[in-house]
Structure 1
Amino acid sequence: MGKIKKRLKNFKAPDALLLICILMAMVSILTYLIPAGEYTRFLDPETGKEMVDPNSFHYIENTPVGPWKVLSSVHQGLVESAGITSFLFIIGGAFGVLNSTGALEALISRTATRLKGKEKLVVIFFVTLWALGGAFLGNFEECLAFLPMQITLCLALGFDSITGVVIGICGVAVGYIGGVMNPFTLGISQQIAQLPPYSGIGFRLVLWLATLTVTIVYIYRYADKIHKNPQLSLSYEVDKASKYREEISSNIEFSIRHKLVLISFVLAVIGIVYGVIVFQFYLGEMAAVFILLTIVMACISDKPVNETVNAFVNGAADLLYPCLCVGFARGLTIIMMEGHILDVIVHSLTGVLGKLPSIVSAPLSFIVISIINLFVPSGSGKAVIVMPILVPMADVLGITRQTVALAYHMGDGITNLLSPAEATIMVALGLMKISYGKWIKWFWKLVLLWYLIGIIACIIAVNIGFGPF
C-alpha cells in the first residue's frame, strides 16, 4: 500500500502534446470498435450554412483510421490549423518587439509601484474585462494576444504565471457561459432555433453576473494564497526561470518613446475591437493589425532593424510549442471525422435525452453538449450539428427552444477550457509550461461550480418557461 501511495505521489501527468498523441491513438482504436454513422447535411438557403437533418442519421460501412492515417493526420492538422498558428506566431513576434522596446518593463514597473498593497485588483479588472468581451463580442482567441503581458504583470506583482493566464481564459469562458449577446454561440443557436435575435437577455445577464462573481472569488483567493506563499504555486519551479519574469526596478524611466509605443499598442487594440464589431474582423485582419503595430513600434523605438527582426523572430519562436499543440489537436478531430464516429457520438448522447422528462433532460442536455464539445470545440461548428437535433426534441418534450439555446452556449463555454482538441487551452498550457494534469488540478473545483450554476439555470429556465418559446 505504501509503494502504491508513493507511486501515485510521484506520478506526473503527461505533457499536453503527449496527451493529445495518446488520445489520437485511442480514438483510432475506437474507429475499429464503434460502428460508423452520419447525418445527412444540406445547405440552408437562408443562412448559407451547412445544416444537419435531425431525422437522417444512418449507419454506414466502417471507415477505420489506421496507424498511417493517424501519422498523416498530424500534418493535415497543422495545415488546417495554419490560420490560428500563423496568427499566434505574429502575436508572439509583435510582443517580442514590444518587449525589446523596454516599454512593457517600464509600464509594469510603474504599475507595480502604484498597486503596492492593492495587487489583487488586477484579478478583478482582467476577469471582468474578458468576461465582457466574451459575452458581447464573442472574444476567445483574441485573449491569447494578451497572455504574455498578463503573465509578465502577474509575476511582477508577486503572483504566478497561472494567475496571468486564468484572468484571461477564465474571463472569456465566463462570457461564453453567460452568452448575453455572443454572436457565435448564442447568435447562431438562436438563429437555428428561429428565436428572436438576442431574446432572453435579462436572464442571461443574471447568469453572466453570477458566473463572473464565482470566478473572480475563486481566482482572487488563489492569487492571494500565492502572493502570501509563492511556493504553493503549481508553476513555482517553472516561474523561477520564466522569460516573462521581470526584475522590477523603481528607477526605470518611463520615457516619451515608451509612452508612444504603449499608445500605439492601445490604439491597435481599439482598432481590433472596432474591426470585430463593425467589419467582422477575424484572425487574418487581426494579424494585419499586429503586423502594422510591429512596424510602428519599431519606428518609434528607433532600434537597429536587425535587432528588431531578431526580437520578432525570438518572440514568434516562444509560441512554437503552443502552435504544435494546436495542430496536433486538430489532427485528433480529423481522425474522428475520417472514422465517422463523431455523428455516432452525437446521436447516442442526444438519443438519451429524448427518453427523459423535461425537468431532467434540460440540465442533462447542458451536460451532454459539454461532452460533445470535447470532440467538436468550434462553437459555431457544433451549433449546426447539435441544435437541429435538440430543437425538435425540445418541442416534443415541452422544453422551450430558448432553454435549449441556453443549455447549448453554457455547455460550449465550460468545456472550452477542458478539451484537448481546443486550441486556446493548448496555447495557454504552453505559455504556463504546466501539464494538462496540473491544469485540471487547478481547474476542477471551478468547473464543478460552473456546472452547478448551469444546472440550476436550466432547472429555473424549465420552471419559468424561459421564452418567448
Structure 2
Amino acid sequence: MAQPNVSAPTPLNKKPREMNVFVLLLIVLVIASLATYVLPAGEYTRTEVNGRSIVVPDTYKGIESSPVSLMGVIGSIHTGMVEASSIIFFVLIIGGTFGILTATGTIEALISTLSRKLANQEKWLIPIMMLFFAMGGALMGMAEETLAYLGIMIPLAIALGFDVITGTAIVLVGASIGFTTAVMNPFTVGIAQSIAELPPFSGMGYRIILFVIMYAVSVYFVYRYAMKVKRDRGYGFFAEGKYDNLESKDVKLETRHKIVLTCFLLNFALLAYGVVKYEWFITEIAGLFTVLGIIIAIVGRLSAGETVNAFMKGAAGLISGALIIGVARAIVVILTDGHVIDTILFHAASAIHHLPPALSVVGMYLLQAIIHLIVPSGSGQAALTMPIMAPLADLVGVTRQTAVLSFSMADGIGNIIFPTSGYFMAGLAIAGIPWARWAKWIMPLILTQYAIGLVAVIVAQLIGYGPF
C-alpha cells in the first residue's frame, strides 16, 4: 500500500519556513565567536588524573584576552572536523554497514514480517523498544551507538502506522532516559563520582527510582503522539519522499535473512560485553561494524563489488549527518580558543557559593544545564565541572552525591534538544527531521524532564543523598 496523502493542514503538517541545520549551527558559531570579544578570558590550572585532564579548584586566573579572529572562526570548522573525526568516521562506517545490510534485503524482509505480526499489537513497540534503549543508556552510556538503530526503527514505525518522529524518538528519547538517570553510566556518573571521590556507582537506588519516573513520563509522551498519528496520518511527519512505499511489499524472512539478523544481534551483544568489560569505545565499535559488514555480505550472498557499492551508498547517505558533527564541534573549538569556557564556569560557581544550600543545589543544576550547551560531551563536562563542583558542594552544605546527580540529570536531557549535540543532530539528519520541527514537538517533554530533574536534586538535598 502506498504512503497515504499527508497534506492535510494539521498542526504538525504545516509547512513553516524551517532553517537549514548548517545555517543554524553557523549562527551559533558566530554568536560564540562574538562572546570571545565580550567575555573576559581566563583559565584554570589542569592536571592529568587517570588519563583525563582535570581542573584544579581555586586556580582560576584572568589572562590576556584572546578573541577569535575571522580566520580563526573560518578555520574552526576544519578544526572541529578534525577533533570530531573519530565520531564522523564512526558514523560513516555505521552507515556503510547498514548499506550492506539493506542490500541483502534483510531490513525489507524484517519490516514486512514484523508489520504483519504486530498488525494488532503495534502499541507494544514503543514501551518495549524504548526500555531497550533506556537500559543501554543507563548501563552502557549509549549515545553515538544509537545511530545504528535508526535505519531499522524508523521504517518499522512507519510500516506499523506511525511516523518518522515516532521511530526516531523511540531510539533517541529512549537512550536519553537511561543516559540522563545514569544508573551505571560509566561515561558520566562513573567519571563524576571518581572525581568527587565517591564509591563507584554509589547512590544507585535513587537513580533507579528516577529512571522509572523518566521512563514512564517519556513513554507516555511518545505513545500519545504515536496514537494520534495512527488515527490521523496527516498529523505526522513522514520526511517526504524518503520513506515512501514501505508497506507495499510483502517479503518473507528467509533463512539467510535470519542468519544475517542473528549476526547483527550477536554483534551488539559483543559490543555490550566489550563496553562493560574492556571499556571499548568508538574505535573498537567501528571495527566491530566493519567486520559485521563483511560477514553479512558473505551470508547475504553479495559479491565483492556489490558489497563495496552498498557500503559506499550507505555511507553517502550519512555524509550530511557526519559533517554536522564536525560543525557542532567547531562551536566548542571557538569557546576553547577564546578561553571563555573557564570564565563562564568560574563566575557561575562564584554566584552559587553565596547561596543557601537549598538554592545552591538549584544553582548547580541550572549551571550544569547551561554548560552542557557549550560542552555537549558528558565525560568532558564531568572532567570540566566536577573538580569545581565537588569542593563547592562541601563549602555550601550540599552532598557530593547530590552535586553528581545535578550534573548527570542536566547533562543527559540536553542531548536530544541542543544543536551542539553532534550525534543528536546527526540522528535528525539521518531521519530527515528538521531541527525546528523536532524542537517544536519535543519541547513539552524536555521542559517536563528538566522539572523532574529539578525536583530530584532538591529532594536529594533534603534527604542528604550520599554517602556524602
Tell whether the 8 Å contact from 2:41 to 2:63 is kept in structure 1 after alignment.
yes
* Aligned 1:151-190 pairs, distance under 5 A: 151-190=154-193
- After superposition, the Cα gap between the structure-2 partners of 1:101 and 1:165, relative to the gap in structure 1 and judged at 3 Å, is same
Say yes or no: does 1:222 pair with 2:221.
Answer: no
Aligned residue for 2:350? 351
What is the deviation of 1:303? 2.6
What is the deviation of 1:156? 1.1
Aligned residue for 2:9? none
* Aligned 1:369-448 pairs, distance under 5 A: 369-448=368-447
1:50 alignment partner, SS class: strand
- Residues 77-122 of structure 1: CA deviation (Å, up to 9, x unaligned): 1111110111111111111111111111111111111111211211
Aligned residue for 1:4? none
Tell whether the 8 Å contact from 1:363 to 1:454 is kept in structure 2 after alignment.
no
Aligned residue for 2:118? 115
What is the deviation of 1:249? 3.1
1:374 alignment partner, SS class: helix
Aligned residue for 1:241? 241
Tell whether the 8 Å contact from 2:150 to 2:431 is kept in structure 1 after alignment.
no
- Residues 388-426 of structure 1: CA deviation (Å, up to 9, x unaligned): 111111111111111101111101111112222211211
Aligned residue for 1:459? 458
- Counterpart residue identity of residue 359, structure 1: A
Alpha-carbon separation, structure 2, partners of 1:244 and 1:10: 19
2:332 alignment partner, SS class: helix
Give me the identity figure in percent.
39
Which moved further from structure 2: 430-439 or 59-68? 430-439
Which moved further from structure 2: 345-354 or 203-212? 345-354
Aligned residue for 1:26? 31
Alpha-carbon separation, structure 2, partners of 1:278 and 1:192: 21
Aligned residue for 1:43? 48
- Residues 233-279 of structure 1: CA deviation (Å, up to 9, x unaligned): 2x33x2x41147623433x2321111111111111111111111112
1:416 alignment partner, SS class: helix
* Aligned 1:3-82 pairs, distance under 5 A: 12-44=17-49, 47-82=50-85
What is the deviation of 1:25? 1.1
Aligned residue for 2:364? 365
Alpha-carbon separation, structure 2, partners of 1:162 and 1:32: 39
What is the deviation of 1:11? 5.4
The one of 93, 96, 117 aligned to 1:93: 96
2:374 alignment partner, SS class: coil
What is the deviation of 1:435? 2.2
Alpha-carbon separation, structure 2, partners of 1:48 and 1:319: 32
Aligned residue for 2:11? none
TM-score where L is the length of structure 2 = 0.94
Which moved further from structure 2: 400-409 or 260-269? 260-269
Aligned residue for 1:6? none
- Residues 36-77 of structure 1: CA deviation (Å, up to 9, x unaligned): 111111223xx3422112211111111111111111111111
2:47 alignment partner, SS class: strand
Alpha-carbon separation, structure 2, partners of 1:96 and 1:117: 30
- Residues 417-466 of structure 1: CA deviation (Å, up to 9, x unaligned): 22222112111120222222212101110011101111111111111111
Tell whether the 8 Å contact from 1:402 to 1:467 is kept in structure 2 after alignment.
yes
Alpha-carbon separation, structure 2, partners of 1:210 and 1:396: 31
2:416 alignment partner, SS class: coil
Aligned residue for 1:84? 87
* Consecutive unaligned residues in structure 1, runs of 5 or more: 1-8
Aligned residues: 455
Aligned residue for 2:195? 192
- After superposition, the Cα gap between the structure-2 partners of 1:398 and 1:452, relative to the gap in structure 1 and judged at 3 Å, is same
Which moved further from structure 2: 119-128 or 403-412? 119-128
Aligned residue for 2:10? none
- After superposition, the Cα gap between the structure-2 partners of 1:96 and 1:417, relative to the gap in structure 1 and judged at 3 Å, is same
- After superposition, the Cα gap between the structure-2 partners of 1:245 and 1:317, relative to the gap in structure 1 and judged at 3 Å, is farther
Say yes or no: does 1:144 pair with 2:147.
Answer: yes
Which moved further from structure 2: 321-330 or 22-31? 22-31
- Counterpart residue identity of residue 335, structure 1: I
- Counterpart residue identity of residue 19, structure 2: P
Aligned residue for 1:269? 268
Tell whether the 8 Å contact from 2:256 to 2:300 is kept in structure 1 after alignment.
yes
Alpha-carbon separation, structure 2, partners of 1:75 and 1:396: 42
Aligned residue for 1:286? 285
1:411 alignment partner, SS class: helix
What is the deviation of 1:286? 0.9
Tell whether the 8 Å contact from 1:178 to 1:205 is kept in structure 2 after alignment.
yes
Aligned residue for 2:328? 329
- Residues 2-39 of structure 1: CA deviation (Å, up to 9, x unaligned): xxxxxxx9752422111111111111112111111111
TM-score where L is the length of structure 1 = 0.94
1:54 alignment partner, SS class: coil
Which moved further from structure 2: 319-328 or 64-73? 64-73
Tell whether the 8 Å contact from 1:52 to 1:385 is kept in structure 2 after alignment.
yes
- After superposition, the Cα gap between the structure-2 partners of 1:245 and 1:464, relative to the gap in structure 1 and judged at 3 Å, is farther
- After superposition, the Cα gap between the structure-2 partners of 1:383 and 1:244, relative to the gap in structure 1 and judged at 3 Å, is farther
Alpha-carbon separation, structure 2, partners of 1:309 and 1:246: 25
